[in-house]
Amino acid sequence: MISSKCTLQIRLDVIEENYRALSMLCPNSETGAVVKANCYGLGMKQISPVLKKSGCKHFFVANIEEGVSLRKILGADINIFVLNGVFSGETKAFKEHGLVPILNHFAQIRVWQEFAFKLHQPLPCFIHFDTGMNRLGMPESESINLVQEDTAGLDVLCVMSQLVSGEESDNLYNKKQLEKFTKLASKFPNAKRSLANSSGIFLGLDYQFDLVRPGAALYGINPTNELAIKNPVQLFAPIIQMHQLPSGESVGYNSTYTNSTIESCSIATIPIGYADGFSRHLSNKFTVYINGHKAPIIGRVSMDLVSIDVSLVPAEEVFLGQRVEVIGDNCTPDKIAQIAQTNAHEILTGLGDRFDRIYTYK
């Protein structure tokens, strides 16, 4: 039966392989997992239990809502750390669901302290030092004056920071951040240390410390082309119409592509567009595949539809319902991102909810 729905296949076994491969690269560290944004758009409910089964005990989410959802999925025997920290109206929920805030500035430290004093018990937390991102975390002007007395009543489990350009192995800023972090972390000699995200892991043992926090690499995002990381995502769109485009005729909005050959060319339409996170920047620039054969995108990507040139695909392989690889081994999220002038994180998190999602485990 022919359907106009695209199919998004997510291989859970590959995500598990990625986690184990990253863990092997960090022999002196524990390996956590960043599962924020619904596991980068791929499905927290399905993926996080696989990571737990693989031995992951430390999970990072963006906010309290994600933390509560994850606790319901995984149960009480794992740690959940909230990157955005805690705010005054959230303290009871943090305690109720066993969430650990990552404290990013003095105001959050005070909120968590006051709650600890009210309960007459120390409360666990991370302290986030900003070593150059200038986004979240205690700025150096504050953190350099921080002493342990400022966190009285708190059980500081770990101090952490975030690399700015970890995917650029030759970027001197990595070393600068490492030096800053090492100096600031010394203020809490009994706390664990965490600096490396996915790319930071590949900078070597000096950056890994006690706990690494891979996110993107788990889901196949691989800007450094490391062989250890595999793509678990495949997105297929069916052909829903076929045409012959005469010489001199255009296809799509604003006639951005015209058949300039002397003969007609074979084209096909697939039901995917920018409403599904397939960027307009890919118009006339990207190539999809049919059983390994190239099929360039022609014309403008519209909200729901894309036109492709199938002239070089064997005729017997072009038919209604034929699967077209939009994301896969030939079209990885990193390749798409490079052409769309963004990053693979945006490609994955932008995938819409109109696909049939299929989760497989070999």
d(CA 52, CA 187): 32
Q: Judging by beta carbons within 10 Å of its beta carbon (0-12, 13-18, 19+), is residue 44 exposed, middle or buried? A: buried
- Tell me, yes or no, if 36 is annotated catalytic: yes
Which of 36, 180, 187, 230 is catalytic? The answer is 36
Q: How many CB atoms lie within 10 A of CB 224?
A: 17
Q: Is 300 annotated as a binding residue?
A: no
The helix/strand/coil state of 94 is: helix
**What are 126's two structure tokens?**
């991370």
The helix/strand/coil state of 8 is: strand
Q: Is 303 annotated as a binding residue?
A: yes
- Tell me, yes or no, if 19 is annotated catalytic: no
CA atoms within 13 A on the CB side of 289: 12
Which of 45, 176, 253, 285 is catalytic? The answer is 253
Torsion of CA 191, 192, 193, 196, to 10 degrees: -160
Q: How many CB atoms lie within 10 A of CB 144?
A: 13
Q: Are the CB atoms for 339 and 282 separated by under 8 Å?
A: yes
State whether the Cα torsion 214-216-219-225 is positive or negative.
negative
**What are 129's two structure tokens?**
């030092």
Residues tagged in the binding site annotation for substrate: 135, 303
Active-site residue list: 36, 253
